[in-house]
DNA sequence: ATTAGTGGTAACATAAAGGAAACTAATGAG
DNA sequence: CTCATTAGTTTCCTTTATGTTACCACTAAT
């Protein structure tokens, strides 16, 4: 669905959904934004409910879409770090708005998304 | 998935996705917000790509979630009008942020979502 | 020789979302 | 009597999305 939604003929909101729609993308972006030297394994620990396969897939799509940058260091065992791209950073206001709405909705404070987690 | 995402134990952004996630919900909400006396048929005309079945289903979910109000007049042929609830109106900043991001992304002006369409 | 550590991938399976086409009820118009 | 109108619903089917489990490559440490 992602690629279909990104179709330039679609309305703006629909296109946006093409980039951040999906169960995990918004939270993955926030984790990458609020973290430092964010590694794959760190993300799996922070978000135990997302499977490794899905996480890898979402990261790949986010990279394809130019929202995050993947730094791969040629070491053994491997080390990979993710960070938001400049384009990805422009999404912050959107993610913040979504976060704020969800917070005032109910259960404020469950999983404090916006506060950095080590 | 919608109900699962709305689980209060989830992070705020994830919960928000439970309400506005889905291919058509954001645009349906905007259409209802920017329109007057918005009727089912009017929506199908404004959004020819969404099938009647899916539209009806999304409207029902939005109503269940308390984001829109359904006014059904007992006439024949039937007349139904939709409007945003107070809660639904609190989503406007989120939808606006999504719309703005999508606009600056590409093809600005395709399907001018935010401007009222008759 | 075995194990731990890292960032994945492959094969397979299920769940959720989305959609096409036909159908309904009640009434007023012609 | 027949047709148009409105806001859906029903049935059946296809496409996406998400998830589980097992496995790989390479090195250093035990």
- SS3 for chain B is CHHHHCCCCCCHHHHHHHHHCCCCHHHHHHHHHHCCCEEHHHHHHHCCCCCHHHHHHHHHHHHHCCCEEEEEECCCCCEEEEEECHHHHCCHHHHHHHHHHHHHHCCCCCCCCCCCCC
As a whole number of Å, the CA-based R_g of chain A is 15
- Over residues B63-117, the pLDDT tens digits come to 999 999 999 998 889 999 999 999 999 999 999 999 999 999 876 567 777 765 4
Q: What is the pLDDT of residue A117?
A: 45
Q: What is the CATH number of domain A2-94?
A: 1.10.10.10
Percent of chain B at pLDDT exceeding 70 = 93
Q: What is the pLDDT of residue A114?
A: 74
- Which protein residues have Cβ within 7 A of any strand C atom? A 1, 39-42, 52-53, 56-57, 59-60, 70, 72, 76-80; B 1-2, 4, 21-24, 49-54, 58, 76-78
- Over residues A43-67, the pLDDT tens digits come to 999 999 999 999 999 999 999 999 9
Q: Where are the domains of chain B?
A: 2-98
Query: What CATH class does B2-98 carry?
Result: mainly alpha
Q: What is the pLDDT of residue B80?
A: 97
């Amino acid at each position: 669905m992602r690629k279909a939604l990104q179709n330039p003929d679609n309305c703006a909101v629909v296109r946006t959904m093409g980039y951040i729609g999906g169960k995990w993308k918004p939270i993955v972006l926030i984790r990458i934004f609020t973290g430092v030297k964010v590694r794959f394994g760190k993300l799996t620990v922070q978000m135990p409910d997302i499977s490794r396969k899905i996480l890898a897939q979402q990261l790949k799509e986010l990279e394809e879409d130019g929202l995050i940058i993947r730094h791969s260091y040629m070491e053994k065992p491997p080390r990979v770090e993710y960070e938001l791209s400049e384009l990805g950073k422009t999404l912050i206001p959107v993610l913040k708005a979504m976060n704020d709405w969800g917070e005032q909705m109910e259960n404020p404070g469950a999983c404090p998304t916006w506060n950095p987690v080590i």
